[in-house]
């Protein structure tokens, strides 16, 4: 394979969460323009209570114009923030729970064709009740789900959020292999 050479990157628009760029690249001697979306990164949490239920959040997603059932998650507050700190913060802010034991599960890139968003996923156990701290524009309902019911939703195409699907499936493998305290 011939290397692809980026010739120029121009910021087209800066949003609150993303930056939209136009990249000019050379591919096989041909000049092309590609879209690129920059995202600072995020963390998500598979939180499991003492009864083995997963703590999920239901919230409105503007891009889909509907409510979705997801893992608690959020973006980094600043580039370079440790994702473990982000995961701990988002778990408490969105669900009102803290974790006495949080371990790394995996990293995913959400949309590799045009976006560099990276999400680190963590498993949280030994949950303790704290206080939910929602932003003024957030409305989040906390729900508790059995793993089998969430897997069924995934296989039926009723749950399509990438980070949520990846986190639940990674946890399911870990749980069934006996590599977790749950």
Percent of the chain at pLDDT above 70?
A: 98
Q: Is pLDDT at 48 greater than 50 in this prediction?
A: yes
Residue 182's pLDDT is: 47
3-state secondary structure of 109: strand
d(CA 32, CA 129): 53
CATH 3.90.79.10 positions along the chain are 41-176
Has 138 been annotated as catalytic? yes
Positive/negative CA dihedral, 41, 42, 43, 44: negative
Q: Is pLDDT at 179 greater than 80 in this prediction?
A: no
Residue 180's pLDDT is: 58
72: CB partners within 8 A, 6+ apart: 44, 45, 47, 55, 56, 57, 90, 91, 94, 95
Quote the radius of gyration of the chain (alpha carbons, Å). 18
Catalytic residue from among 26, 81, 103, 138: 138
| Burial per residue of 36-48, b for 16 or more beta-carbon CB atoms within 10 angstroms, e otherwise | bbbbbbbbbbbbb
Percent of the chain at pLDDT above 90?
A: 90
CATH number of the domain at 41-176, please? 3.90.79.10
């Amino acid at each position: 394979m011939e290397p692809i050479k980026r010739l120029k990157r121009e910021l087209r628009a800066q949003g609150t969460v993303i930056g939209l760029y136009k990249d000019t690249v050379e591919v096989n001697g041909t000049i092309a323009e590609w879209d690129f979306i920059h995202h600072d990164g995020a963390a998500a949490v598979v939180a499991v209570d003492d009864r083995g239920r997963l703590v999920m959040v239901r919230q409105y997603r503007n891009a889909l114009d509907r409510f979705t059932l997801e893992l608690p998650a959020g973006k980094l507050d600043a580039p370079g923030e440790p994702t473990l700190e982000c995961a701990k913060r988002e778990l408490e802010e969105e669900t009102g729970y803290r974790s006495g034991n949080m371990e790394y599960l995996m990293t995913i890139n959400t949309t590799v064709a045009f976006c560099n968003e990276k999400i680190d996923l963590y498993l949280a156990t030994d949950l303790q009740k704290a206080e939910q701290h929602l932003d003024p524009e957030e409305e989040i309902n906390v729900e508790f789900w059995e793993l089998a019911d969430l897997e069924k939703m995934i296989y039926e195409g009723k749950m399509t959020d990438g980070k949520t699907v990846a986190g639940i499936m990674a946890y399911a493998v870990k749980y069934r292999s006996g590599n977790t305290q749950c």
